[in-house]
Amino acid sequence: MFAENTIYIVGNAKSQQHNPITHQYGQFFIGFVVERETGRIVNCGCSATIPVTADFICSIFNGRNLRDDFDAIRQQVENRYFGSSQKAILVAYKDAQKKFSRITNGLPVDLNE
């Protein structure tokens, strides 16, 4: 389903205590399928409790660049997503960016983070 030049990275974030995601999953996470050489996000999924929420969040990320598009993605999240996980989305994205940077620089990634 995914090309051999893609990798899978999960970004994690704590969500608010009253958020249903916290009750169901314990934290918020976004999984990204990314082209290793370019950083282009091919697909994603997240720990949303409503399927349309996951689809909407992924529509903000798909086709963007994991490494280079933080400002554009942040703007999209802040201007279009008005759920209680807004901050967690950005924290999970930044966590995935950090892991991607380590991977592409040949550094180890702590999979328990």
User: How does DSSP assign 11-22, residue by residue?
Assistant: EEE---TTSHHH
Number of domains in the chain: 1
Query: pTM of the predicted model, to two decimals?
Result: 0.87
Assigned domain for 71 exists: yes
| CA distance linking residue 91 with residue 55, whole number of Å | 18
Assigned domain for 43 exists: yes
Assigned domain for 111 exists: no
> Domain containing 20 — which CATH number?
3.30.390
Assigned domain for 110 exists: no
19, 85 Cβ separation under 8 angstroms: yes
- Structural domain containing residue 55: 6-102
42, 30 Cβ separation under 8 angstroms: no
Tell me the pLDDT tens digit for each residue of 57-66.
999 999 999 9
Non-local (6+) Cβ contacts of 69 within 8 A are none
Q: Could you give the angle at the alpha carbon of 93 between the alpha carbons of 54 and 68, nearest 5°?
A: 120
Tell me the pLDDT tens digit for each residue of 55-107.
999 999 999 999 999 999 999 999 999 988 899 999 999 999 999 999 999 98
Token pair of 6 as six digits: 């893609």
CA distances, 45 to each of 52, 58, 107, 108 (Å): 11, 6, 25, 24
CA distances, 80 to each of 1, 10, 25 (Å): 30, 23, 24
Assigned domain for 97 exists: yes
